Amino acid sequence: MAEYVVEFGKTGRPAEPGGRLDAAAFHRNEQAIRAVLARLLHGVTGDVLEAGSGTGQHVVAFARQHPEIVWWPSDIHPQHLTSIAAWRADSGLANIREPRRIDLSDPAWPAEMMDGGGPASLAAMFSANVIHIAPWPVAQGLFAGAARLLRPDGKLILYGPFKQDGAHTAPSNAAFDASLRAANPEWGVRDVGEQLAAQHGLRLGEIVEMPANNLILCFARSGES
């Protein structure tokens, strides 16, 4: 099992009744992310997996904005899964499925998605603030799973801090990277991932600059627009 830096509920505000956790980052970035997803997912129908749903607040916001999409939240931490389920129940939205426990570092993880009635293909995968707070095998597993699960026109959408051409995009990102690597040399801000994507038949189609020196990266299957 991969060890992550951030496990909501261990630090910061305690869980609310029912197990709901509240992430400060959600309130900072939710509106900006939703605005980009509104464009990237315009006209899309089908199933979308959120890999590493954390508290579950984002997936509720996305599901409310995109009722034509069925959202599949997931995480590895039990307390996160409890929080996701609680936010899902609180929302009353019919287009959010029960959270799934997924370990992206496990090479067999796509089977966890499909077992028990999960979709065999996805319109998109979305992951926010995951691969820099996890060992490199998590990023490798994320792309490998996308290659297996995305339908021909599917998209892999990542949000977070990234390097470009091996260089940090801002001094604050360099400082953040150093703090992560000091805590554990397996963590750190990753490059935009074009080489890793190519290994799995994916290509980087778009980079969107976001507030606080973050990026959204949108990958598609090679040969798809």
What's residue 207's pLDDT? Answer: 97
What's residue 224's pLDDT? Answer: 66
CB atoms within 10 A of CB 194: 15
What's residue 223's pLDDT? Answer: 74
What's the pLDDT tens digit per position in 78-91?
999 999 999 999 99
What's residue 13's pLDDT? Answer: 61
Q: Mean pLDDT throughout 87-108?
A: 95
User: Using 50, 70 and 90 to split pLDDT, how confident is the model at 162?
Assistant: very high
What's the pLDDT tens digit per position in 169-216?
999 999 999 999 999 899 999 998 889 999 999 999 999 999 999 999
What's residue 5's pLDDT? Answer: 39
User: Using 50, 70 and 90 to split pLDDT, how confident is the model at 123?
Assistant: very high
Structure tokens at 144: 């490998």
The ranges assigned to domains in the chain are: 15-102, 104-118+135-156+173-202
Q: What is the CATH number of domain 15-102?
A: 3.40.50.150
What's residue 18's pLDDT? Answer: 79
CB atoms within 10 A of CB 13: 11
Q: Mean pLDDT throughout 142-162?
A: 96
Using CA atoms, how far apart are residues 87 and 85, in angstroms rounded to an integer? 6
Arithmetic mean of pLDDT over the chain? 91
Which residues, in sequence order, are CB contacts of 15 under 8 Å at separation 6+? 9, 21, 79, 82, 83
What's residue 15's pLDDT? Answer: 63
What's residue 14's pLDDT? Answer: 61
Whether the model pTM is above 0.85: yes
Where is pLDDT greater, at 165 or 128? 128
Using CA atoms, how far apart are residues 221 and 105, in angstroms rounded to an integer? 21
Does the pLDDT value for residue 107 go beyond 90?
no
Percent of the chain with pLDDT over 90: 80
Percent of the chain with pLDDT over 70: 90
What's residue 172's pLDDT? Answer: 94
Does the pLDDT value for residue 11 go beyond 80?
no
Q: Mean pLDDT throughout 24-45?
A: 96
